[in-house]
Structure 1
Amino acid sequence: MQHKRFGFGLAALAASALFVSGCSNATNESQSSASSTTSAAASASASPSAASSDAAHNDADVTFAQGMIPHHQQAIEMSDMLLGKQGVDPEVVSLANEIKNAQGPEIEQMQGWLRDWGVSSSTTAPSTAAMPGHDMPGHQMPSGDMGDMPGMSGGGMGMMSEADMAALQNAQGAEASRLFLTQMIEHHKGAIMMAQQEVDNGQFPAAVEMARNIVSSQQAEIDTMQGMLDK
């Protein structure tokens, strides 16, 4: 009797194991199938967005980001120069900090766009050829040579030349404040020109929105800086 019960117990145990195994396999197959379905759905939903992202930008967007990154970087460099000086007007110090706080995040955002688009960041300054009326060799401003004004002897679009940057670096106190404001006004004017081109010709919504913000915010800062100079 004990042998029979033992045999019956083994048979029952084997049947139980087979049943559990069958359930487990069914469960795994079900999970695998569900996982495959979920993955397929995710891929299907991701594909259109990826395709639309690729199609959502054009050459104007790329030109805007590649040109504005070094432009912003120079504005931050100018602001850092001023912030390292003593005896500077507190209002000008505050403005320099505002410029850094606004343009730093914009640089990161534009660099991210270029990475997403598979385009490298430009390390060259905007060209004077892109400036209306400045595409002729030897072109002069009505007031004289281009070198007479801050930014006109630089890389175009309000970019400061090495001489402009050296002058700001060497200036102190009230003269540093005056020079910073004068240079930054021209720098902002160049940025507005570049941003307006993006507003007119760009396609990538976030880039066009940033360009609109640059036009409005930097024009407001130009008005503020001009008011500081007129005091």
Structure 2
Amino acid sequence: MTRGSPSSAGRPGASSRDSSAGGRCARARRGVRLPRLLRFEAPTARGAPGAVSDGYAKSRLRPETMMQIFRSILSLVALVGVVACDDTQAECAGPRSDVEFIDAMVPHHEMAVEMSNKELADGTDPEVQAMAQGMHDAQLAEIAQMKAVRAELTGSDEVPERHDAQMQQMEADMKKLAAASGAEVDRVFVEEMLPHHAGAITMAHEALPYLQREDMRQLAHKIIRDQAAEIGHLGAMLDK
């Protein structure tokens, strides 16, 4: 697949929280702590030479590809709010309950499904389309699971609309993908899915200490594990 210029580096608004926060959230001075499972590895057969215990081998990606992945993830981490906040700054916090986790993750998954639908309809690369199909099916199942839990907890499976900076960026990314055609669809899908996955991983990681239900804790771990592996696969596609 032909590589293009990074789509995530230097995005407007990607280096800070939504301006409506009025500067009340200061970026943390210490290093960003990402989930330990966020490893940049390409898939290989379980037990193949060089494979590690979870069936993924260390990727031999080009340095420029690795830089694109890191820029995508770091810009997204800044956007979703790895910030220093005290308890009075609720708008800075990640999800702090099962319902908040669901209300944040469902729209995020729905956008991934919409992006996958575009790739499946208009993409040209069979490998990228196969990955898009897997994402589509997995995330639809997770959406159904989360909505069922929300209905059990609140009496309604309706998730409120999101209008935060991250959602606005995802909508802009979707517009860019929607405007693409031919092989460009494959490239844009891969480039945009990298920071999108990083956002889901960050959100799940931040929510884990506050999740009360075992099924939601297991789902958060699954999101981190699955999407970290897919980041490695996406990076390998960019490196072709």
TM-score between the two structures when normalised by the length of structure 2: 0.57
Q: For residue 111 of structure 2, what is the aligned residue in structure 1?
A: 74
In the alignment, the residues of structure 2 paired with residue 71 and residue 201 of structure 1 have an alpha-carbon distance, to the nearest angstrom, of 19
AA partner of residue 160 (structure 1): M
Q: Unaligned 5+ residue runs, structure 1?
A: 1-57, 129-153
Structure number with greater Rg is 1
In the alignment, the residues of structure 1 paired with residue 133 and residue 110 of structure 2 have an alpha-carbon distance, to the nearest angstrom, of 14
Q: For residue 124 of structure 1, what is the aligned residue in structure 2?
A: 161
Q: For residue 60 of structure 1, what is the aligned residue in structure 2?
A: 97
Q: Deviations over 1:34-73 (max 9, x none)?
A: xxxxxxxxxxxxxxxxxxxxxxxx9521111111111111
Flag the structure with higher strand content: 2
Q: For residue 172 of structure 1, what is the aligned residue in structure 2?
A: 181
Aligned-residue offset at 1:201: 2.0
Matches within 5 A, 1:161-200: 161=171, 163-200=172-209
Q: Deviations over 1:180-217 (max 9, x none)?
A: 01111111000001111222221111000000000010
CA contact 1:89–1:174 (8 Å) conserved in 2 = yes
In the alignment, the residues of structure 1 paired with residue 224 and residue 96 of structure 2 have an alpha-carbon distance, to the nearest angstrom, of 20
AA partner of residue 114 (structure 2): E
Q: For residue 5 of structure 1, what is the aligned residue in structure 2?
A: none
CA contact 1:78–1:180 (8 Å) conserved in 2 = yes
Q: For residue 226 of structure 2, what is the aligned residue in structure 1?
A: 217
| Distance of aligned partners of 1:95 and 1:126 in 2 relative to their CA distance in 1, 3 Å threshold | farther
Q: For residue 92 of structure 1, what is the aligned residue in structure 2?
A: 128
Among 130, 134, 155, the residue aligned to 2:167: 155
In the alignment, the residues of structure 1 paired with residue 187 and residue 96 of structure 2 have an alpha-carbon distance, to the nearest angstrom, of 38
CA contact 2:194–2:234 (8 Å) conserved in 1 = yes
The percent identity for this pair of structures is: 37
CA contact 1:67–1:126 (8 Å) conserved in 2 = no
| Distance of aligned partners of 1:160 and 1:180 in 2 relative to their CA distance in 1, 3 Å threshold | same
Runs ≥4 residues deviating over 2 A:
119-128
| Distance of aligned partners of 1:126 and 1:103 in 2 relative to their CA distance in 1, 3 Å threshold | farther
CA contact 2:96–2:207 (8 Å) conserved in 1 = no
CA RMSD of aligned residues (A): 1.9
